[in-house]
Amino acid sequence: MNSNGFGPSEKKRDRNNPATEATDNRTNGKRQAELPRNYGHWATLTLVLVSVGFLFSYPYRGEFWGGLISTACRAGMLAGLADWFAVTALFRRPLGIRPGRILRTEIIPRNRERLFEALADMVENDLLSKKALKERLAHYNSAAFLLDYLSQPEVLAELSTFLAGLIRDLTGQTEPQALINFLEELTCEEFLFEDLTPLLVEALNLSEKKGYLELTAAFANRSLLALVDSPQLKQALALWLQKAYQTYEARNTARKLVDTFLPSAGELAAAVQEQLRLFLAGPEAQELLMSWLREYAGELVTSRAARTNLSQTLFDLLRHTPFRAHGPGNGEVSSAKIGTFRTDGDTLKLLIEDVIREIVITRRNPKWEANLDSWLKDSLLRFIDTQHAIIGHMVRQNLKPLSNERLVELIESRAGNDLQMIRINGSVVGSLAGSLIYLVNFLIQQKW
């Protein structure tokens, strides 16, 4: 089985991940609680008891009690044998009987492809359908998760380094006075009413010429890969999927059978991470990021509402940060300062790091955070709409490596006791039905 397989015995678990460990502990605890109660032994014992009862009572079948016990045990024995054959035929060949048109054996192994297809379809279109994912996403604070991730020192340092290099390069291509005017206005109320079109057009043309959009998309792609590999995402995914499982099963008792076949939330979270990693490592992700950047850039040029929203966002973000120290009245926005930014990358990096830290840690602007959450959810919804088929593909790919023996072992480990209870119930109900038939027949004979 591949490294993303769902088989519990082969799956390498991330013990540094509390969500995965908690999920695995719950699953293992449930299985360990079931192991001492091996209903297979009880089912066999029940069949043996009714068979022995039939053999010992058969010579006395002419008497009332002998006939009652003999009939009850015979019916229980026949029902128990029939259920034993039926349960065994699900997985194996009882009595060595090969599959045929009348007697069907090895039902699950012979129908594994249909089972896998039905399971993948159920996960894709029911358990994790577009509607279900969107409902779960609506109640999740994606902005808080992203800001918590960005507040980590190593992530903060990498982001600051990239932005400092990008801004230093951009300032080297821009007229100093134009940049001074922009910085002076950035933290003024009047900035909200400025028309950013000329500046944006110039910046976008420069970005296209110098390849800044490609650099930004590549950095975003690397950052997303790091985020996908982070234990924080795996923990969030595992908890999110666990709640999805619980919600799905709570709607219908019969849906609890889903747990028989599906991996644990931790295992599925690891598989989702792997599929996201493969997607981000491919060319399609880079093209998608470039498409989004160009689309947003074009919207900024053509839509005044988008420009107003951008200026409002910049103003709200920067008015409470250390950047305000460079605003009007402080005398620090000057050609000398711009020159420092161009030549001293560390100074600019520290300033940007302070600004980002103030934004992601202090979080003084709930409205901006709500807007960020809305934008992230819109982006995720677009991703779900275009890439939702990955879920079904992922389930199919991870189920295919299961051998017939492993498939049987997996189902028996999770549903074996329930199937053995069918055998027990068959013997008990058969005995009760045999007793009832005998009593009815006895009363009819007595009356006539």
**What are the pLDDT digits (tens) for 299-315?**
877 887 877 777 777 77
* Span 345-366, pLDDT tens digits: 566 677 777 777 777 776 666 7
Q: How many C-beta atoms surround the C-beta of residue 33 within 10 A? A: 9
Q: How far apart are CA 360 and CA 146, in angstroms?
A: 9
For range 233-239, the mean pLDDT: 84
Report the share of the chain in percent with pLDDT over 90: 15
In the chain, where the domains are located: 1-30+115-140+214-281+365-400, 38-110+402-447, 153-210+286-364
Where residue 327 falls among pLDDT bands split at 50, 70, 90?
very low
Structure tokens at 115: 């089972």
Q: What is the mean pLDDT of residues 101-125?
A: 85
Condensed to tens digits (0 to 9), the pLDDT of residues 176-185 reads 555 555 555 5
Section 416-428 average pLDDT: 90
With a cut of 80, say whether residue 49 has pLDDT above it.
yes
Q: 13, 24 in Cβ contact below 8 A?
A: yes
pLDDT at residue 392 is higher than 70: yes
Please determine, for residue 145, whether its predicted confidence score (pLDDT) is greater than 60. yes
The string of pLDDT tens digits covering residues 361-380 is 766 667 778 878 888 888 78
Average pLDDT of the residues of the chain = 75
Res 263: pLDDT: 66
Q: What's the pLDDT at 318?
A: 64
Q: What is the pLDDT of residue 381?
A: 84
| Gap between the Cα atoms of 146 and 220, Å rounded | 13
pLDDT at site 19? 44
Burial class for 203, CB neighbours closer than 10 Å (0-12, 13-18, 19+): middle
Tell me the CA distances in angstroms from 331 to 161, 184, 315, one per residue in order: 26, 10, 19
Q: What is the pLDDT of residue 33?
A: 39
For the ranges 34-38, 109-113, 115-119, the maximum mean pLDDT occurs at 109-113
Report for 46-55, 165-174, 305-314, 334-343: range of highest mean pLDDT: 46-55
DSSP label at residue 324: G
5 confidence band (pLDDT: 50, 70, 90): very low
